[in-house]
Chain A
Amino acid sequence: MAAVDINAKIPNNVDLAGDRRLQRALEQWQPKFVRWWEELGPAAFARNPVYLRTAIDVGQEGWANFGHVEMPDYRWGIFLSDREKDRKIAFGDHKGEDVWQEVPGEYRSDLRRLIVVQGDTEPASVEQQRKLSLTAPSLYDMRNLFQVNVEEGRHLWAMVYLLHGYFGRDGRDEADEMLERHSGDADNPRILGAFNEETPDWLSFFMFTYFTDRDGKYQLASLRESAFDPLSRTCEFMLKEEAHHMFVGASGVGRVVQRTAELIREHDTDDIHQYGGINLDVLQKYINFHYSVSLDLFGSETSTNAANYFASGLKGRFQEERRDDDHLLKSVYRTVPDWTESGIGAREVTQLAALNETLRDDYSEDCQKGVDRWNRALEEAGINFTFRLANTSFNRKVGTFRDHHMSPDGKPISDAEWEANMDRWLPSDSDRAHVLSLMTGVSEPGKMAGWVAPPSRGIHQKPVDYEYVRV
């Protein structure tokens, strides 16, 4: 294929036209990807023109090109952030050495594993969200969903590029398998448990993009520190897109909160259920659920794998270079939570052993910011209610609290107490049924479903009532 053709088909800044090996690998993979997209991508409006952003370059203008496209024709591209000259490894046993432009044989399987685990989540979320376009609360939201979906698709491309470009035949096999595993498929599930649950409704979608995509942000940010430079540069660029996904989540939840506040004031009651809104306590339960499930994605409090990845230079910490320590972490200590009969105890371990916990701390702190914003909106509306993030011990399936019931404020509780309160803390069947009952698709430009407020502005200077999806 001529250089112009290949670059038009697959926008890239990795000299795809000059890399015969990569070209051939991607040409073999692309039809499989398209087939996958058609089978497991968006279930409705899949062929309608959508006002999407397409990255065609990493520069300021290049990465934000807007226009209507039919998703199957979306130009999924491969972009790495610009190479930082003379970049050195910032942490671990190789600290101070030049970063790697090739995969060292020694770390090949570990790096491949990290890339596969990250890559697997990207198509997984598209699969999880495939039915949501049926019930989008507005064309604006539908467009945002599709933007997130195509970008998750592009993130898959980014990971596949690394696998094809640097991991030979094994990498190609792994790339194929990422299209063969399917979210929720009992025989062939996605790697991480949380990515096998369907995203059943739009409230869950907003929560997912706020909480679960934020886990992705922290994973990508720590991979951005990697000594394997192509991985680092790939993740750097993905983070830009990921920021938009979290905006969809934060503003989405914010708009639900706003609408709920409006209904409360309008009807002068906290129970706006009957008026087609979502009650504050239900929102809190959704927050509890999505936050706790996302905390699990960081793994156990202490981890030898994470320590090995760090020591080998494969995966750093969030903003590694801004941290003021030895970047080796073998003789600096911190405490990690530890379950005891009487409550949450603490255990002192090396920071190296506690990397998962450190990343989880950074994540929690970040999560709190959006929660504070939602609370401010309530305050401004004169509503006396405060959203809280549950204690990190609550509803955990991974780590020290795995086999123990804990209350949202971090107290050990009995099985009976858990059973008695579960529906107060996590979405009950009737909560979910109610939320689901509100989900009816709205496809008239500018119109919003009744449970969510309109956004304050549209996309890329377009008005809110713009025809973001041509129906």
Chain B
Amino acid sequence: MIEPLIDFTTAPDRYRHWTLDIDGSTAILTMAVDPAAGLRDDYELKTNSYDLGVDIELHDAVQRLRFEHPGVNVVVVTGGLDKIFCAGANIQMLAGASHGHKVNFCKFTNETRNGIEDATANSRQTWIAAVNGTAAGGGYELALACDEILLIDDKSSAVSLPEIPLLAVLPGTGGLTRVVEKRHVRRDLADAFSTRTEGIRGKTAVEWGLVDHIAPASTWDDLIAERIAARAAESDRPSGGAGIELSPLDRTMTDDSLAYTTVAVTIDRPTGSATFSIQAPEGAQPATGDELVAAGADAWMLRTVRELDDAILHLRFNETGIGTWVFRTAGESDAVAQAEAVLSADADHWAVRETRLFWARTLERLDVSARSLVTVVEPGSCFVGTLAELVLVADRSFMLEGSWEDLDDPPPPASIRLTEASLGWYPMPNALTRLRTRFWGRDDAYEKATAVVGKDLLANDATEAELVTFTPDDLDWEDELRITLEERNSFSPDALTGMEANYRFVGPETMKTKIFSRLSAWQNWIFQRPNAVGPDGALQRFGTGSRPDYDKNRV
């Protein structure tokens, strides 16, 4: 099947499935999915079920609420259809999607829900789910991503995770994880809940910990208002003031390239690789939060991360055969340092905080991308601070030792510079910095690396500090890179994904690592199994009236 090209850019005036109403410091995000507006036309998005297109709008709304609405401190997400909050991912869509699309879809929806939690925890924009009808499967998982769940007590609306009894798959958007990890539902009750098609209603839902508050229709609006007021009081977001408009991205796309203003991507199909090039800022960048707001989406820090984020999503979905991503940078190191200085100088400013959190989320997208990540440090590059994270994010990094000796006037040799950025701004899904992760269990190596923060490191210094993998000189350079890409391209992509995911996340488990590794790995296995996707499996039989025929052997 040829998947249509998927575009991740949208804006509220183009939403087909959501409405965003801002009322003072409260935002109401209402889901009313247009059944006819699915990404493919072989399914209808009935009963507020969603596909990737619906989730792209949700993702857009989450981002815009953070940047464009500094004064909003509570976001209420609710259903716009009668008796229905949200029915979860559309079953026909899943049944007709390629395995790869399903996996990618789940990853993106998970990232969006993690973003909602991040907004609550770190942007202090608290999300509340006002579940005013049935919340099934992905619908309940959306509610689970919110900090509070209110459920209408109308003797029929229930929350449920019916995937296992109905579809023979898992609730793949963090449901199983969040029920026990976040809401602390007892595991035996969680088991009972997740095998019960009709779900749990009313008081029992509160008792089991599945929702926080219930109210009958008559006092439903009062409950919502009360909870908004309570949560708004906790926020430190400014009251009102100008936001940063996320203006449309300046993007040019060809078959083999993607060009924005500071980020460009070129695809090399023979080696199955894409090279991301990031250009350092030219000209002064905002030094304070207010200046950042004034510069808006044009500020280099924000512009770059938006472009990078969009490029990542584009390649993930639309270029699945491009298995290796190569990162390069170009420009003045000091310019990058100056641009990111605002992140420490005015750290508490809401816009500064949002910019930093955006980078953190985007770098996390790289951590969980099923691609080989290779970073290439050459003379003229600017891997400083935030951009130096691209060295640490890589599965393999190369740094040129010395310079281009054949040139009449060889440029100064390549250097990299760690800054405060690597010491805590950008945690990975395992909640550790990339530096901590790199030196997991090796405190002296960690100390050695942190001791060089702020210094320009040449190849041998970077080797000494264990920050780069290989440092060929100019004689070997081209060959080493070419061979690495060709070799990578010759391995099984599945095996590579498995290896990379295992090596990227050392250390403690977090809710995110459980979602992206444990839950996803099980789900991806189940997605391949005949009991789910075979001709007699549950996804195919769903809605046909005939029951699935399971292979009863436990594996």
Chain A: residues with CB nearer than 8 A to chain B? Answer: 20-21, 24-25, 102-106, 108, 166, 168-169
Q: Which of B405, B475, B485 contacts A105 (CB 8 A)?
A: B485
Contact check, A105 vs B490: say whether CB atoms are below 8 A apart: yes
The smallest C-beta distance from B499 to any residue of chain A, in angstroms, reads 17
Contacting residues, chain B, for A103 (C-beta < 8 A): 483
Point out the residues of chain A lying under 8 angstroms from B479, CB to CB.
102, 166, 168
CA distance A273 to B533 in the complex (A): 82
Give the residue name and chain of the B residue nearest to A105 (CB).
B486
Contact call B489/A168, Cβ cutoff below 8 A = no
CA distance A267 to B479 in the complex (A): 68
Max chain A Cβ within 10 angstroms of own Cβ: one of B405, B406, B480, B483? B483
Assuming the A-B contacts A105-B489, A106-B490, are A168 and B406 also in contact, with contact meaning beta carbons closer than 8 angstroms in the complex?
no
- Chain B contacts of A25 at CB under 8 A? 475
Contact between B406 and A169, CB atoms less than 8 A apart: no
Q: Is the beta-carbon distance between B476 and A106 smaller than 8 angstroms?
A: no
**Interface residues contributed by chain B, number (CB under 8 Å):** 18
Please tell me if B484 contacts chain A, counting CB pairs below 8 Å: yes
Q: Mark B481-511, 1 if CB is under 8 A from A, else 0.
A: 0111111111000000000000000000000
Residues of A within 8 A of B488 (CB): 105
Which chain B residue lies CB-closest to A24?
B475
20 new A-B contacts at CB < 8 Å, known A105-B482, A105-B484, A168-B472: A20-B405, A20-B475, A21-B475, A103-B483, A104-B486, A104-B490, A105-B271, A106-B486, A106-B487, A106-B489, A106-B490, A108-B483, A108-B486, A108-B487, A168-B479, A168-B480, A169-B470, A169-B472, A169-B476, A169-B480
Q: List 28 A-B contacts (CB under 8 A).
A: A20-B405, A20-B406, A20-B475, A21-B475, A21-B476, A25-B475, A102-B479, A102-B482, A103-B483, A104-B486, A105-B271, A105-B483, A105-B484, A105-B485, A105-B486, A105-B487, A105-B488, A105-B489, A105-B490, A106-B487, A108-B486, A166-B479, A168-B472, A168-B476, A168-B483, A169-B470, A169-B472, A169-B480
Output the least CB separation between A66 and chain B (Å): 37
Bound state CA distance, A40 and B470, in angstroms?
34
Q: How far is the CB of A37 from chain B (nearest CB, A)?
A: 26
Q: How far is the CA of A168 from the CA of B477 in the complex (A)?
A: 9
Expressed in whole angstroms, the Cα–Cα distance for A217 and B477 within the complex equals 35
What A residues does B489 contact at CB under 8 A? 105-106
- Shortest beta-carbon distance, B475 to chain A, in Å? 4
Q: Residue of A at shortest CB range from B486?
A: A105
Interface 0/1 of B504-546, CB less than 8 Å to A: 0000000000000000000000000000000000000000000
- In the bound assembly, the distance between CA atoms of A168 and B485 in angstroms comes to 15
- Residues of B337-376 whose CB lies within 8 A of A: none
| Bound Cα distance A105, B480 (Å) | 9
Q: List residues of chain A with CB within 8 A of the CB of B482.
A: 102, 105
Give Cα A166–Cα B470 distance, bound, in whole angstroms.
18
B405: A residues at CB distance < 8 A: 20
Name which residue of chain B comes closest to A172, CB basis. Answer: B476
In the assembled complex, which residues on chain B have CB atoms less than 8 Å from the CB atom of A108?
Answer: 483, 486-487
Tell me the bound Cα distance from A166 to B475 in angstroms: 11
Q: Which of B405, B472, B486, B489 has the most CB of A within 10 A?
A: B486
Measured CB to CB, the closest approach of chain B to A82, in angstroms, equals 25
How far is A106 from B487 in the complex, measured between Cα atoms in Å? Answer: 4
What B residues does A169 contact at CB under 8 A?
Answer: 470, 472, 476, 480
- A161 CB to closest chain B CB (Å) equals 15
- CB A19 to nearest CB in B, in angstroms, measures 9
For the complex, give the distance between the alpha carbons of A21 and B406 in Å. Answer: 11
In the bound complex, CA of A337 to CA of B479 (Å): 44
Min C-beta distance of A118 to chain B, whole Å = 21
Q: Give chain A nearest CB distance to B248 CB in angstroms.
A: 39
Contact with A along B440-479 (1 / 0, CB 8 A): 0000000000000000000000000000001010011001
Q: Kindly report which residue of chain A lies nearest to residue B485, judged by CB atoms.
A: A105
Could you tell me the distance between the alpha carbons of A103 and B484 in the complex, rounded to whole angstroms? 12
B183-220 toward A: CB 8 Å interface, digit per residue (1/0)?
Answer: 00000000000000000000000000000000000000
What A residues does B486 contact at CB under 8 A? 104-106, 108
Specify which chain B residues have a CB less than 8 angstroms from the CB of A24 in the assembled complex.
Answer: 475
Name the CB-closest residue of A to B480.
A168
Complex contacts, A21 vs chain B, CB 8 Å: 475-476
Residue of A nearest to B406 (CB): A20
In the complex, A20→B474 CA distance in Å?
Answer: 11
Q: CA of A21 to CA of B475 in the docked complex: distance in angstroms?
A: 5
- Output the nearest chain A residue to B491 by Cβ-Cβ distance: A106
The 9 closest A-B CB pairs, nearest first, are A105-B486, A106-B490, A21-B475, A105-B487, A105-B483, A168-B476, A168-B479, A168-B480, A108-B483
Nearest opposing residue in chain A for B471, CB measure: A169
Query: Most A CB atoms within 10 A — which of B479, B480, B485?
Result: B479
B487 to chain A: which residues have CB within 8 Å?
Answer: 105-106, 108
Q: Which residues of chain B are within 8 angstroms of A168 by Cβ–Cβ distance?
A: 472, 476, 479-480, 483
Q: How far is it, in angstroms, between the C-alpha of A106 and the C-alpha of B480 when the chains are bound? A: 13
- Residues of A within 8 Å of B484, CB to CB, are 105
Q: Cβ of A104: which chain B residues have Cβ within 8 Å of it? A: 486, 490
Most chain A CB within a 10 A radius of its CB, from B406, B476, B485:
B476
For residue B475, which residue of chain A has the nearest CB? Answer: A21
C-alpha gap A166/B480 in the complex (Å): 10
Contacts of B483 in A (CB 8 A): 103, 105, 108, 168
What distance in Å separates the Cβ of A242 from its nearest Cβ neighbour in chain B?
30
Q: Please report the C-alpha to C-alpha distance between residue A436 and residue B470 in the assembled complex, in whole angstroms.
A: 53
**How far, in Å, is B208 (CB) from chain A's closest CB?**
55
Min CB gap A410→B, angstroms: 43
From B271, B406, B475, B484, name the one whose CB has the most chain A CB atoms within 10 angstroms: B475
CB-CB nearest in chain A for B405 = A20
Bound CA span A212–B489, Å = 39
* Shortest beta-carbon distance from A445 to chain B in Å: 49
A105 to chain B: which residues have CB within 8 Å? 271, 482-490
Q: Nearest Cβ distance between residue B507 and chain A, in whole angstroms?
A: 31
A168 to B489, CA, bound (A): 19
Find the B residue at minimum CB distance from A168: B476
Measured between beta carbons, the chain A residues less than 8 angstroms from B406 are 20
**Nearest CB of chain B from residue A372's CB, rounded to whole Å:** 47
Task: Enumerate chain A residues within 8 angstroms of B271, measured Cβ to Cβ.
Answer: 105
CA distance A105 to B487 in the complex (A): 4
Closest beta carbon of chain A to B463's beta carbon, Å: 13
Q: Which residues of B contact A106 (CB under 8 A)?
A: 486-487, 489-490
Q: How far is the CA of A107 from the CA of B330 in the complex (A)?
A: 32
Assembly CA distance A168 to B271 (angstroms): 19
CB distance from A199 to the nearest CB of B (A): 38
Report the Cα distance A20→B406, complex, angstroms: 9
CB distance from A6 to the nearest CB of B (A): 16
> Once the chains are docked, how many angstroms separate the CA of A168 from the CA of B480?
7
Q: Whole-angstrom distance between the alpha carbons of A74 and B311 in the complex?
A: 59
Q: How far is the CA of A106 from the CA of B490 in the complex (A)?
A: 5
* Residues of chain B from 13 to 50 with CB closer than 8 A to chain A in the complex: none
How near does chain A come to B299, taking the closest CB pair, in angstroms? 40
Considering only CB atoms, which chain A residue lies closest to B488 in the complex?
Answer: A105
